[in-house]
């Protein structure tokens, strides 16, 4: 804080999850202090952090120096430090003051009970974690009825959610949403289209760090399905995850294998996947792993897209969402670009925090 701090509004922030995105967010908040003071007369006061093992709090505001130490300790040891309190919903619910923005950068649904208290406690919510919005429909309803932002749950910092909200608020009728929502599956689909064997494409994507250590977490399509479900629910479709049609790029009998066994046996899928790629790419179609939200239904699957379709035009490791609406029918509205990465995601979360702080009022 500087000598101008008396002119600043303070907004309390509590960050759930201190992994890649959570740490990048805290670094970005610290380095943007001057910018936030100048542009918004705002000081984001981080009062607590939580990882899976516990919570670190200082209700007076954790100093930037201490935040730096916590980032360093967490990066080196995997833990926040010795002063932490075990993670407990009841503790957070009783301790967090009204007006706090809870920022969920975790990758678990254990945060849901805390988030569902937000309405009663007068907290705001910012989510990078899609599990609370793609879990039970009642969770989605509970979270989206309070002041909340979740831009980075679909396409990282790309303004997909903001655009959809603008379309919905303006009374435009969204008829269809199509998307390429997984950079990893986009990359693998492009390799298949180029005639590369499926096993080689998966090994290559894994070596480049595009997949999770267990590539089945990407190949199963569930992450893309969660994003599509969030968009569908925003359109008012009352769907649960089991209503979403999800094409997995490996058969379920391979679920029981260890990661090494799977990587060894993945070549079994070379022929069927090559056949499927050939079928789908007839007549110059491009192979994409697509999401489709239309007519009350939601699906994610490998598909061949024709030359008219914008999904065929993106760099395959990028993400794209295309809205066909009453006003954007002949030339649908498309948003595309980098749809993953911890730094860019953190920047989107920070944008949401600032937007929500302004909505809640600069106090
Ligand atoms: N990375 C991206 O490109 C990207 C893009 C868009 C959205 N997202 C979403 O952003 C979130 C964070 O991603 P990431 O890459 O930072 O993942 P990450 O590095 O795995 O971090 C996840 C964090 O959640 C913490 N956590 C687990 N259980 C918790 C609990 N009960 N309470 C509090 N924290 C808990 C973990 O704790 P430990 O450190 O103790 O394990 C870890 O710090 C995920 O939901 C992801 O889907 C990521």
How close is the Cα of 286 to the center of ligand 1, in Å? 33
pTM: 0.96
Q: Which atom of ligand 1 is nearest to the CA of 74?
A: 39
pLDDT tens for each residue of 274-298: 999 999 999 999 999 999 999 999 9
**Which residue's alpha carbon is at the smallest distance from atom 27 of ligand 1?**
52
The CATH number of domain 3-155+343-360 is 3.40.50.10490: no
Alpha carbon 183 to its chain centroid, in Å, reads 13
Q: What is the pLDDT of residue 6?
A: 63
Q: What is the pLDDT of residue 362?
A: 54
Q: Which atom of ligand 1 is nearest to the CA of 20?
A: 16
**Interatomic CA distance for residues 117 and 358, integer angstroms:** 21
- Per-residue H/E/C for the chain: CCHHHHHCEEEEEEEECCCHHHHHHHHHHHHCHHHHHHHHCEEEEEEEEECCCCEEECCCCCCHHHHHHHHHHHHHHCCCCCCCECCCHHHHHHHCCCCCEEEECCCCCCCHHHHCCHHHHCCEEEECCCHHHHCCHHHHHHHHCCCEECHHHCCCCCCHHHHHHHHHHCCCCEEEEEEECCHHHHHHHHHHHCCCCHHHHHHHHHHCCCCCCCCHHHHCCHHHHHHHHHHHHHCCCCCCHHHCEECCCCCHHHHHCCHHHHHHHHHHHHHHHHHHHHHHCHHHCEEEEEEEEECCEEEEEEEEECCCCHHHHCCCCCEEEEEEECCCCCCCEEEEECCCCHHHHHHHHHHHHHHHHHHHCCC
Q: What is the pLDDT of residue 2?
A: 42
How close is the Cα of 91 to the center of ligand 1, in Å? 21
Q: What is the pLDDT of residue 5?
A: 60
**Which residue's alpha carbon is at the smallest distance from atom 6 of ligand 1?**
156
Q: What is the pLDDT of residue 1?
A: 45
Q: Residue 224's CB: how many other CB atoms inside 10 A?
A: 27
Residue of 28, 50, 106 with the most ligand 1 atoms within 8 Å of its CB, for mutation: 106
Domain residue limits, the chain: 3-155+343-360, 165-338
Q: Which atom of ligand 1 is nearest to the CA of 156?
A: 6
165-338 belongs to which CATH class?
alpha beta
How close is the Cα of 105 to the center of ligand 1, in Å? 5
pLDDT tens for each residue of 118-177: 999 999 999 999 999 999 999 999 999 999 999 999 999 999 999 999 999 999 999 999
Ranges of residues in the chain whose predicted pLDDT is under 50: 1-3, 363
Q: What is the pLDDT of residue 307?
A: 84
Residues with a CB atom less than 6 Å from ligand 1:
16-22, 50-53, 87, 105-108, 110-111, 128-130, 152, 156, 340-342, 345
* Bridging pattern class, strands 297-305 and 319-325: unpaired
How close is the Cα of 114 to the center of ligand 1, in Å? 16
How close is the Cα of 128 to the center of ligand 1, in Å? 9
């Amino acid at each position: 804080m500087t000598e101008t701090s008396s002119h600043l509004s303070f907004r309390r922030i509590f960050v759930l999850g201190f992994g890649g995105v959570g740490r990048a967010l805290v670094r970005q908040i610290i380095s943007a202090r001057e910018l936030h003071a100048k542009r918004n007369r705002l000081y984001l006061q981080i009062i607590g952090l939580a990882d899976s093992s516990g919570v670190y709090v200082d209700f007076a505001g954790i100093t930037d120096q201490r935040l730096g130490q916590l980032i360093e300790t967490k990066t080196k040891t995997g833990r926040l430090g010795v002063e932490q309190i075990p993670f407990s919903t009841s503790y957070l619910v009783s301790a967090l003051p009204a007006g706090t923005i809870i920022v969920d950068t975790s990758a678990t649904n254990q945060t849901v009970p805390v988030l569902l208290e937000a309405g009663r406690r007068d907290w705001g919510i910012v989510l990078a974690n899609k599990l609370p919005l793609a879990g039970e429909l009642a969770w989605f309803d509970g979270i989206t009825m309070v002041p909340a932002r979740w831009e980075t749950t679909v396409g990282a910092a790309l303004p997909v959610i903001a655009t959809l909200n603008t379309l919905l608020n303006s009374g435009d009728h969204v008829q269809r949403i199509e998307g390429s929502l997984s950079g990893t599956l986009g990359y693998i689909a492009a390799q298949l289209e180029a005639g590369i064997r499926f096993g080689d494409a998966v090994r290559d994507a894994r070596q480049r760090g595009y997949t999770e250590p267990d590539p089945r977490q990407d190949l199963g399509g569930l992450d893309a399905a969660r994003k599509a479900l969030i968009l569908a629910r925003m359109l008012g479709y009352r769907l649960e995850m089991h209503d979403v049609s999800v094409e997995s790029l490996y058969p379920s009998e391979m679920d029981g294998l260890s990661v090494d066994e799977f990587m060894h046996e993945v070549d079994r899928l070379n022929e069927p996947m090559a056949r499927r790629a050939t079928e789908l790419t007839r007549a110059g179609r491009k192979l994409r792993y697509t999401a489709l939200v239309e007519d009350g239904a939601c699906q994610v699957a490998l598909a061949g897209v024709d030359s008219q379709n914008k999904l065929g035009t993106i760099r395959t490791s990028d993400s794209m969402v295309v809205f066909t609406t009453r006003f954007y029918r002949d030339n649908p509205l498309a948003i595309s670009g980098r749809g993953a990465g911890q730094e860019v995601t953190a920047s989107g979360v920070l944008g949401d925090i600032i937007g929500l702080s302004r909505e809640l009022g600069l106090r």
